[in-house]
Amino acid sequence: MRVNRPSLFALGIALLVSAAPSGQQPVALKPGMVISRSVVVRPGTYRLAAAADLKTPAIIVRGSNITVDFNGAVLAGSPDGADPDTMAGVGLLIDGGSRVTVRNATIRGYKVAILARNSPDVRLTGNDLSYNWKQRLHSGVEKESLLDWMSFHQNEQDEWLRYGAAIYLRGCDRAEIDHNTAVQGQDGLLATASTGLKIWNNTFQYLSGIGVGLYRVTGSTIMHNRIDWCVRGYSHGFYNRGQDSAGLLMYEQSSNNTVAYNSITHGGDGLFLWAGQSTMDAGRGGSNDNLYYRNDFSHAPTNGIEATFSRNTFVENRVEECWHGVWGGYSFDSAWIGNRFARNVEGMAIEHGQNNTIAGNTFDRDETAIRLWQNATEDPSWGYAKARDTRSHGYTIERNTFRDNKLALDIKSTVDVTLAGNTFEKVATSVSLGGNVRNISLDPPADRAVPAAAPGAAPLTGGMDPTIREGDRRGRETIIVDEWGPYDWKAPKIWPVLEPRAPGVTSPESPPYKLRVIGPAGTWKVSSITGATVSPQSGTVPQEIAVTPAAGPAIDVDVALEYRGAAVVSPRGAKTAAGAPYVFHYTKYFVPIDWHVKFFEYTAETDPVKQPDAFAKLVASGRPLKELTRDRLDYMSGRSFEDGLPRDNFALTAEGTADLSPGDYTLTVISDDGVRVWVDGALVLDDWDVHESTVDRVTLAGGRHRVRVQYFEAGGFAEMRFDIQRK
């Protein structure tokens, strides 16, 4: 329900809360309340909406030396069970205050739960900020969508707010963020333009974007946090893209920070560190002189550690089962000391690095342990390359243990490398040299010992051990990402059995559907079935089942299972007691269309935007490069859509008939680049220009419809998906 409010000025007068002598009754929250002195909130659930523009929060705290103790009260901005992408506004704003403490709050159902601006010495402690905004994802089991990629390159004007957050800080020097929980949102803590932060003993897990994100944050401590399963863009055995999700994001001159004793596993990247656009343009600065000590960065679909264009120290971290344990492009004067790498495709991959030390590390069963190289050419207009030395040179690689690697050292086009005192055990190839490799020294071990941990990495008093216990759930096979982000294993779920594709292997998208009931231990039975048969009809978790759709013009399946067993927390945060029934569903709707598809190559003379008449003539009477029939339009690629087609400057036309049972439907089209759709001869969608992946939706009634689609691709990645779903 939308709340009509008086002006903020009037609210500041009418609802100003003053501190009272000890023993005063707790206060009740009201829409637009401005809190200016310490209060204890009356327990209860307060349903207070906030403006979608993020400018009119539900509650404001303004002033100095204020403690707001929520006393377990709940501040809710959306109805229970609402889709997360409908959540809006700011729950609580700390506006220009100092020494403000907010504690013991539950804030859910907002785009941003707590937003603090220009408020030094703020403290947020013991708050539950779970189940806030996140975007609906469009990537599927077998194929990702470009729509789901994020970009964090700019945040000078708080551009990151478009991704929502449990906590967002700007200009909050010396803030302390501790003992907070944020799960099942998109981002946990995002901070910018702040120094001296203390971020410790928090749980930021099962988020579809970023666990902790820092932009121009310096001199801060990030220790003893659980930052696991912050991931999107992953389907085990099919694709591992990450889509710029990460456990810990450190961007744009985030320097002189200490990151220690954290569990940062199962993220798109574990650590995603980047110098910033200003460094790319001018060559100056970087995200430098950070210490990473005894963190677990394992099980990242992409990079356990991505640290580029910067100078940093990494000591005694654990990095297992990633694509790259380290991606360190253009890193300089950096040290990797005493880290444990295991079962990565590449343990460390550094292009164009300079004067780096790799000492005392263990590389265990990585396919390639260390790869160093430089590219033959660089963009001559690139500011960084103009201002900096970008040759690959100056490595010290000493006293490392290489065990069961296919290739230990792959060194190409790199000069001035010292290899000293390394141990090779059951390694197929110890060293491979190529390109312009010069000055490779095989000196005996140096007299000096391997450097120890840098000062300042002592654990905090009261700091928790966040590491995943031996035998507990871990590994990339535990990453399951649906349309709302990573699955947290707190409720039973039906999920396709995913097997790496091979000739003759049935696709998860092809019936009969091979599915698995997963989640907490317990029993299940079929509660209801529509449009399919299910075998078996009952069982225990985990267990495979088969769902066979009924014959008909469309696949329209709904299978409800009833679970009994452990306590359940639903994906929206609703709780079911142990032993009580919990009903969950598998649904699938797909209407096949008899698409007749033609592909064309266009030129400047037949450009679909600049030469529309010539393009119309091309697709009406020209000779197609390829013709085919298929039952769906679903393409996404950085290469060509089909064999025999160019990667860029091509178009397609598709015509077919959709038979829809009575009801209301949504026609959804994802396109990169231009698309047009006609239904029964009427143009219903016209997004005919060069653009990144965009989603368009059109309402459609049931019945028999003739559908025509035109699409063109100009360059770069391409995407074209046509889908019809019940409303």
**Mind spelling out the 3-state secondary structure of 252-283?**
CCCCCCEEECCECCCCCEEEEEECCHHHHHHC
Looking at 133, 165, 199, the residue that finishes a domain is 133
- Residue 31 in domain: yes
- Residue 535 in domain: yes
Q: What is the pLDDT of residue 373?
A: 97
Percent share of the chain, pLDDT over 90: 86
Dihedral sign for Cα atoms in the order 209, 97, 126, 456: positive
Q: What is the pLDDT of residue 499?
A: 67
Report the C-alpha gap between 49 and 82 in whole angstroms: 13
What is residue 332's DSSP assignment? Answer: B
**301 within 8 A of 230, measured Cβ to Cβ:** no
Report the C-alpha gap between 640 and 373 in whole angstroms: 29
Report the C-alpha gap between 20 and 102 in whole angstroms: 18
Q: Which residues pair with 562 in a beta bridge?
A: 525, 583
Report the CATH number that the domain containing residue 616 is assigned in CATH: 2.60.120.1560
| Per-residue pLDDT at 4 exceeds 90 | no
**216 within 8 A of 254, measured Cβ to Cβ:** yes
Helix (H, G, I), strand (E, B) or coil at 640: coil
| Per-residue pLDDT at 14 exceeds 50 | no
Report the C-alpha gap between 684 and 539 in whole angstroms: 47
Q: What is the pLDDT of residue 705?
A: 96
Q: What is the pLDDT of residue 455?
A: 60
Give residue for tokens 């089991």.
Answer: 141
Burial class (CB in 10 A: 0-12, 13-18, 19+), 570: middle
| Per-residue pLDDT at 344 exceeds 90 | yes
Looking at the 3D structure of the chain, how many domains does it have?
3
Give residue for tokens 């090779």.
Answer: 424
- Residue 682 in domain: yes
**172 within 8 A of 120, measured Cβ to Cβ:** yes
Same domain membership, residue 119 and residue 65? yes
- Residue 63 in domain: yes
Structural domain harbouring 33: 1-133
What is residue 161's DSSP assignment? Answer: G
**In sequence order, what are the residues at sequence separation of 6 or more whose Cβ sits closer than 8 angstroms to the Cβ of residue 661?**
553, 554, 556, 702
Same domain membership, residue 580 and residue 621? no
Structure tokens at 614: 């010539």
- Residue 404 in domain: no
What is the reported pTM? 0.93
Same domain membership, residue 664 and residue 582? no
N-terminal to C-terminal alpha carbon distance within the chain: 22
Report the C-alpha gap between 513 and 517 in whole angstroms: 13
**546 within 8 A of 586, measured Cβ to Cβ:** no
Same domain membership, residue 652 and residue 616? yes
Give residue for tokens 């390159």.
Answer: 153
Residue 121 CA: distances (Å) to CA of 18, 171, 509: 21, 10, 53
Same domain membership, residue 581 and residue 606? no
Same domain membership, residue 600 and residue 582? no
- Residue 418 in domain: no
13 band by pLDDT with thresholds 50, 70 and 90: very low
Assign 3-state DSSP to the chain and report helix, strand, coil percentages, each to 5: 5, 45, 50
What is residue 102's DSSP assignment? Answer: E
Give residue for tokens 């704003």.
Answer: 93
Q: What is the pLDDT of residue 67?
A: 97
Which whole number is the average pLDDT over 590-604? 95
Give the DSSP H or E segment for 69.
Answer: strand 64-69
Q: DSSP string spanning 565-587?
A: ES-EE-TTS-EE-TTS-EEEEEE
Write out pLDDT tens, residues 113-152: 999 999 999 999 999 999 999 999 999 888 899 999 999 9
Q: What is the pLDDT of residue 19?
A: 39
- Residue 631 in domain: yes
Q: DSSP string spanning 406-449?
A: SEEEEEES-EEEEEES-EEES-SEEEEEESS-EEEE-PPPPSSP
Same domain membership, residue 125 and residue 2? yes
Looking at 77-143, which runs of residues are DSSP E strands? Answer: 90-95, 98-103, 106-108, 112-117, 123-125
Dihedral sign for Cα atoms in the order 638, 640, 646, 649: negative
Amino acid identity of residue 137, one-letter, is L
Q: What is the pLDDT of residue 24?
A: 62
Query: Hey, how many other C-beta atoms are within 10 angstroms of the C-beta on 114?
Result: 31
Write out pLDDT tens, residues 202-211: 999 999 999 9
Amino acid identity of residue 281, one-letter, is D
Closest CA to 244 of 132, 385, 311, 148: 148
Looking at 567, 589, 611, the residue that finishes a domain is 589
Same domain membership, residue 574 and residue 679? no
Report the CATH number that the domain containing residue 561 is assigned in CATH: 2.60.40
Which whole number is the average pLDDT over 597-614? 96
Same domain membership, residue 640 and residue 618? yes
529 band by pLDDT with thresholds 50, 70 and 90: very high
Closest CA to 487 of 397, 409, 584, 422: 584
